[in-house]
């Protein structure tokens, strides 16, 4: 699998990283044996980049990921987790499927973007993981807490990096504007951008992606299938985009993309992945996977042969912005 530098950190990551939110029983239970088998399949297929967070499964994802990674060579992998939510005992009755995770609702996430909260969150993550270090730590979803992240979490992560506690630091969000501001203010290594740069939406070309290039930071993309819309070869009415039913114009664009892919005999998910990897700021794509079968299909996507004529027609039909980098073109 292709690897790319993670900014200026000295770390390298494969094109496909394992997004571990599904292993926290996102939307539905993933049996323990199935979660382990998915991780084993990913490792066998060359995946060495694992992204988790305290929020995913309210601790379950970190526990499952750590239990697997303790049995593999630690220096061969890049492990990424996040700060910004502390897990605390829930008051009152346990919640049912808290935050969309099929887990016992006896703990709840509590926002904390203070320096002390960052240190506490990282310590508790290491305890759940059963490991002595993580490589990358991101500030997770500070949408409503920009000033708190600016004063507390980001400066503290930079101190931890300077002390050698972590190798790389950054921010993970579902928007481009705030990470762009943070890149101008802080010496960040990584931005995880979820859902805002894909085959039907390229607005990040205006701000985040050029800002990352100027800063020498890596961009890692999540949500490149738009939370479901581009995950199948034939998007149908009712398909989701950004975790809601896709608007009609977005669905129509996805259907045009699917028709073009079918005309060239290529899977829509493959071109969805390969298109975004063509941007020089993008180091990797994170895909959420919950079974060995999903892992095998997903890790193969960057290597699916796509004829040059597909990319020419994609641009020629105006299905992506004119300034979108595409595979096979000079960077």
Q: Which residues are catalytic?
A: 56
Cα 278 vs. chain centroid, distance in angstroms? 17
Cβ contacts of residue 217 below 8 Å, gap of 6+? 7, 170, 183, 188, 189, 190, 191, 281
Cβ atoms of 238 and 202 within 8 Å: the answer is no
- In a 13 Å sphere around the CA of 305, the CA atoms on its Cβ side amount to 3
Cα 133 vs. chain centroid, distance in angstroms? 20
Measuring CA to CA, which residue among 113, 121, 124, 98 is closest to residue 154? 113
- The span from the CA of 19 to the CA of 14, in Å, is 13
Name the 3-class secondary structure at 156: helix
- The span from the CA of 65 to the CA of 86, in Å, is 18
- The span from the CA of 46 to the CA of 261, in Å, is 27
| Integer-rounded Cα radius of gyration of the chain | 19
* Residue position matching structure tokens 């995880």: 192
DSSP state of 90: P
Structure tokens that stand for 216 in this block: 């020498």
Burial (CB count within 10 angstroms: exposed 0-12, middle 13-18, buried 19+), residue 225:
buried
Helices (H), 139-236: 146-148, 154-162, 177-185, 208-215
Element (H, E) at 32: helix 32-44
DSSP state of 168: E
């Amino acid at each position: 699998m292709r690897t790319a530098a993670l900014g200026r950190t000295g770390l390298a990551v494969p094109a496909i990283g394992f997004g571990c939110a599904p292993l926290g029983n996102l939307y539905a239970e993933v049996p323990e044996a199935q979660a382990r088998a998915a991780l084993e399949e990913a490792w066998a297929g060359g995946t060495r980049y694992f992204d988790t967070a305290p929020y995913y499964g309210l601790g379950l994802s970190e526990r499952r990921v750590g239990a697997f990674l303790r049995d593999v060579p630690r220096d061969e992998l890049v492990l990424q987790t996040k700060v910004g939510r502390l897990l605390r005992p829930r008051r009152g009755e346990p919640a049912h499927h808290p935050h969309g995770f099929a887990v016992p609702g006896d703990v709840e996430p509590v926002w904390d973007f203070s320096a002390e909260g960052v240190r506490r969150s990282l310590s508790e993550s290491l305890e759940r993981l059963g490991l002595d270090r993580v490589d990358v730590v991101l500030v997770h979803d500070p949408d409503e807490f920009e000033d708190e992240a600016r004063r507390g979490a980001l400066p503290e992560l930079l101190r931890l990096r300077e002390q050698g506690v972590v190798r790389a630091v950054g921010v993970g969000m579902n928007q481009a504007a705030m990470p762009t501001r943070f890149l101008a203010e802080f010496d960040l290594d990584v931005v995880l951008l979820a859902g805002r740069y894909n085959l039907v939406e390229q607005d990040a070309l205006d701000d985040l992606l050029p800002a990352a290039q100027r800063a020498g930071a890596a961009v890692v993309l999540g949500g490149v299938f738009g939370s479901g819309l581009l995950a199948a070869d034939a998007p149908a009415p009712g398909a989701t985009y950004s975790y809601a039913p896709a608007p009609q114009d977005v669905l129509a664009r996805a259907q045009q993309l699917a028709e073009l892919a079918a005309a060239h005999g290529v899977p829509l998910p493959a071109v969805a992945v390969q298109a975004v990897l063509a941007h020089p700021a993008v180091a990797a794509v994170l895909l959420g996977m919950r079974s060995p079968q999903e892992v095998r299909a997903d890790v193969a996507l960057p290597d699916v042969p796509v004829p040059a004529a597909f990319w020419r027609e994609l641009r020629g039909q105006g299905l992506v912005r004119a300034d979108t980098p595409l595979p096979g073109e000079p960077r």
